[in-house]
Structure 1
Amino acid sequence: MNRLITRGLMFGNLIPVDSPALVERYNRALKALTGKTTALADFHIDLSGYSPEIGDELGDDLYLNRNGCNRQFILLTTDQKTAPLLNAKFSTSRGILTRFIEENEAELFTLTARDAVAGELENTVFDLTEPKRLFDIRRVTVVADTTGNHIAEGRRLSQLVERFRTEEDGWWDDVLIAEMIGLAAKTGDVTKNPVALKSTVFEQGNFWTAHFGGVYLFRDMEHPAAISVGPKEKLGPLPVKHVFDLEDRNQVAQFLELNNLVEPIVNARGLDAGAVLRQKMDFILVDAAARLGLDTGAGTRRDLRQIAGTLGNRLPEEFEGLAALLRWVETGGRWPRITSAHPAYFYTLRSRPHKDRDLVNMLLSELSPLDVRQLFICHKELFYDIYRAWPDAKKDFVADFLAREYQMDKNGTRRALFGDEPPMTPGPWDRDIVGTVGPWGAVRRERR
């Protein structure tokens, strides 16, 4: 993994904790949450305060995520909102933590100036022993306070101030006044500088989880379904009518179509479809060459064209399908009919602009894993898992490509591939005939 680490593609943008004061604050929060402390004098933390160095020290990569269920967090600075979230078990965790920090940035900036903020993403389910328990996760509450309980004590002081103002005998209540003075010494003037946090409850609608081998749960849909990465039979009975796995390509394609979740890249507004298709084809060629032990040279497009010529009739079906589509895009050639049974089908799609765009693109990356750029952007956990098994030649090509083409302009690349950030609430998107049935016609059920 050193290729990725040295290029900033793994453990990049982590926040350094390298001063005695910050280490002390972190240890106080870590002790409060887990009963443990670190002996390290410096380390790095992610969005949630998890440190890979401390994970190695403790021999526990889930020391802030017991059972992978209710993720705990430690905030030392609001700058953590730009850091990655490592070892994610739910696709919604990063968005919830980022939004929590952004919408409470002023309050958290004040609090973290003198103490660490520790908390938990509480979803009321503490042990996912059965897949059906996933359906009990409906709402996530962010519970947070400093290790000195400044928020709780500030709330208590506000209540006492209100009593002092409204009760007739408040002016003569020595006990009340003494308690107010004691709390004010810790919290400051809460009437001028309130420390209450807002936006602490978030709905958990559609999401992915790493539990049970990976499950995509689409329940807030007109046609709901659960999609398992592994064999669906292993999930057992679930409280949803439709349960598919990644081998059910036709059914998954129908699900995406019926819920109007995807669009063909050749029909996507503002997308250079030809450039995207060519890049996907390059990735497929590099994989084929690496598996066959063929030298890709410098990995230029000219080198890869030579590889394509060498492979001849051994070219992967994914490549052939995308090549046919590219001919139609650039020369108006024969319209290729690519059904959901074709290996290239899911490479030709991207999510429409809706609130679950990132989740749908994540699912599409699982269904088109040779598109390593989309896989890295949309599903880093899976990217890192399968990267380890690649031949060195493919590792070199992919690491160099991502460092050169993606790291230089992450936001621009995302916008070019997937469009602008979608709205948080559903909108009245246009449904033209191509978008509705797909560029190759309606997906038909497989005959049994």
Structure 2
Amino acid sequence: MRRLIEAGLMFGNLVKVDSPALVERYNRALMHLTGRTTALTEFHIDISGYSPEVGDALDDPLYLNHNGVNRQFILLTTQQKTAPLLGAKFSTSRGILRQFIEENERELFALTARDAVAGELLNSVYDVSDPARLFDIHTVRIEADTTTGTVREADRLAQMVDRFMTEEDAWYDDVLIADMISLSKKTGDVVRNPVRLSQMEFRQENFWTAHFGGLYLFRTQADPALIRTGDDPEPGTLPIEAIDITDRNRVARFLDANGMAEPIVKARGLDAAAILRQKMDFIVVDAAQDAGLDLTGATRRDIRGLARRHGDRLPEAWHGLNRLVAWAEGTGPWPQISSDHPSYFLSLRAADTPDKDLVNMLLAELAPSDIRQLFICHKDLFYRLYRDWGETKKTYVVDFLTREYQVDKVGARRALFGHEAAMAEPEPAPAAPEDLIRRVGPWGAVRR
């Protein structure tokens, strides 16, 4: 993993905490939330204030996420909004924290100038030892304040100011005036500079959770389902259909029935052939690893040269994508690729729905050979799989992500997953008629 860290692909963009003042504030917040402190004088924190170094020192990787349910957080600076979230147990947590910071950026900037802000992502569930409890999670709200209670005291002062301005005899209330003066020394002028954090509540209906070996929960669809990646929970123990991720036909039916995925070659605004060729290169890399070839410094030309020389040894997933490229470029017929074909999920991306990020995460797990999408959409799984890769693949992957992704993350994400506004259908390449495609699905009938 050292190679990933040195390349900035793991623990990248964390916020460094190395000044005595920030360390002291962090320890105050840590004591406030957990009753513990750290003796470290330098460490790094993610968007939630979690530090891998502090977790290691405390021998507790969940020191801010007890039971992996209601995540606590420590904010030392608004710069944390661009940091990753390490050890996420729910796919929605980072987005919620970022929205909270951005919505309250001005107030948080003022508060963190003097103190740390500590808080918690709260829902009605404190324990998920029973998978059915996941269905009790519907909303997440945020509670936050400084370690000295600045926000709470500012609310009190604001109420006193209202009394002073509205009650007839308040001008003569010496106790009220004395209390206002005392509180204002802690909070500042709340009339000119209100210190209030927006009360934010977030819906959490569809999400991924790391609990029970990994679950994708889709509840708001017309055809709801839970897709499990481990052995738990047992089918029939939940209020909706549980689908094993290895049951490719049922997963494909679910995505198709709810209009949640679309074929890359039919997506607007994409260079579909280029994206598919890159996925083919990743498959060649896997084959090269199995053959013990050295890919150090290998370029796209080198990878595709290997494909030409050893095409007969490449798996069917590569050949399926190759047929799709031929169709996209107008040099081949429409390929009939069923849902149990190894290239099926490689050929899809999420449709433009509110759950597109979650669907792309699911597709990354269904087709892990696409290491770029895996790294972007499901880092937890990427790191777990990386540990078991051979040196050939590790070297290539680190070099590729550094060279092709790190230099323009936003552009790469837009090129792969962005959705353009609707427009007239482009002229199709030689293919099956559109009415047939609509009847039988993007690549052919989804097996029932």
Between 51-60 and 229-238, report the one with greater CA deviation: 229-238
Aligned partner of 1:300 in structure 2 is 299
Distance of aligned partners of 1:37 and 1:232 in 2 relative to their CA distance in 1, 3 Å threshold: closer
Aligned partner of 1:323 in structure 2 is 322
Aligned partner of 1:250 in structure 2 is 249
- The CA distance in 2 between the partners of 1:233 and 1:170, in whole Å, is 62
Q: Within the alignment, does 1:288 sit opposite 2:287 as a pair?
A: yes
Task: Give 1:3-82 correspondences, 5 Å limit.
Answer: 3-82=3-82
Aligned partner of 1:443 in structure 2 is 446
Between 289-298 and 266-275, report the one with greater CA deviation: 289-298
- The CA distance in 2 between the partners of 1:75 and 1:317, in whole Å, is 49
8 Å CA contact 1:123–1:140 kept in 2: the answer is yes
- The CA distance in 1 between the partners of 2:163 and 2:112, in whole Å, is 29
Task: Give 1:71-220 correspondences, 5 Å limit.
Answer: 71-220=71-220
8 Å CA contact 2:131–2:233 kept in 1: the answer is no
1:364-419, Cα deviation, whole Å (9 max, x unpaired): 00000000000000000000000000001100000000000000000000000011
Aligned residues: 439
1:299-347, Cα deviation, whole Å (9 max, x unpaired): 2233323433554433112111111111212243122100101011000
Between 303-312 and 90-99, report the one with greater CA deviation: 303-312
Report the Cα offset of residue 170 of structure 1: 2.0
1:172-223, Cα deviation, whole Å (9 max, x unpaired): 3332222222111111111111111115211112100000000001001111
8 Å CA contact 2:317–2:342 kept in 1: the answer is yes
- Secondary structure in structure 1 of the residue aligned to 2:96: helix
- The CA distance in 2 between the partners of 1:275 and 1:199, in whole Å, is 45
- The CA distance in 1 between the partners of 2:56 and 2:319, in whole Å, is 45
Report the Cα offset of residue 124 of structure 1: 1.9
Aligned partner of 1:370 in structure 2 is 369
Between 391-400 and 243-252, report the one with greater CA deviation: 243-252
Report the Cα offset of residue 420 of structure 1: 4.8
Aligned partner of 1:268 in structure 2 is 267
- The CA distance in 2 between the partners of 1:421 and 1:151, in whole Å, is 42
Distance of aligned partners of 1:84 and 1:235 in 2 relative to their CA distance in 1, 3 Å threshold: farther
8 Å CA contact 1:100–1:200 kept in 2: the answer is yes
User: Structure 1 counterpart of 2:248, which letter?
Assistant: R
Between 51-60 and 97-106, report the one with greater CA deviation: 51-60
8 Å CA contact 2:296–2:392 kept in 1: the answer is no
1:127-162, Cα deviation, whole Å (9 max, x unpaired): 111111001111101100000100000111111222
- Secondary structure in structure 2 of the residue aligned to 1:234: coil
- Secondary structure in structure 2 of the residue aligned to 1:41: coil
- Secondary structure in structure 1 of the residue aligned to 2:329: helix
User: Structure 2 counterpart of 1:323, which letter?
Assistant: N
Q: Within the alignment, does 1:390 sit opposite 2:389 as a pair?
A: yes
Q: Within the alignment, does 1:404 sit opposite 2:403 as a pair?
A: yes
Between 163-172 and 176-185, report the one with greater CA deviation: 163-172
- The CA distance in 2 between the partners of 1:421 and 1:337, in whole Å, is 27
Report the Cα offset of residue 231 of structure 1: 3.3
The alignment yields a C-alpha RMSD, in angstroms, of 2.1
8 Å CA contact 2:121–2:141 kept in 1: the answer is yes
Aligned partner of 1:334 in structure 2 is 333
- Secondary structure in structure 2 of the residue aligned to 1:73: strand
Aligned partner of 2:429 in structure 1 is none
Q: Percent identity?
A: 64
8 Å CA contact 2:268–2:420 kept in 1: the answer is no
Aligned partner of 2:430 in structure 1 is none
8 Å CA contact 1:142–1:201 kept in 2: the answer is yes
Aligned partner of 2:312 in structure 1 is 313
Report the Cα offset of residue 55 of structure 1: 1.0
Distance of aligned partners of 1:106 and 1:235 in 2 relative to their CA distance in 1, 3 Å threshold: farther
- TM-score, normalized by length of structure 1? 0.94
Distance of aligned partners of 1:353 and 1:116 in 2 relative to their CA distance in 1, 3 Å threshold: same
1:35-61, Cα deviation, whole Å (9 max, x unpaired): 111111111111000111111111111
The answer for unaligned runs of 5 or more in structure 2 is 426-433
8 Å CA contact 2:67–2:126 kept in 1: the answer is yes
8 Å CA contact 1:103–1:199 kept in 2: the answer is no
- The CA distance in 2 between the partners of 1:41 and 1:236, in whole Å, is 51
8 Å CA contact 1:46–1:85 kept in 2: the answer is yes
- Secondary structure in structure 2 of the residue aligned to 1:114: coil
- The CA distance in 2 between the partners of 1:30 and 1:6, in whole Å, is 29
- The CA distance in 2 between the partners of 1:146 and 1:134, in whole Å, is 30
The answer for unaligned runs of 5 or more in structure 1 is none
- TM-score, normalized by length of structure 2? 0.94
- Secondary structure in structure 1 of the residue aligned to 2:234: helix
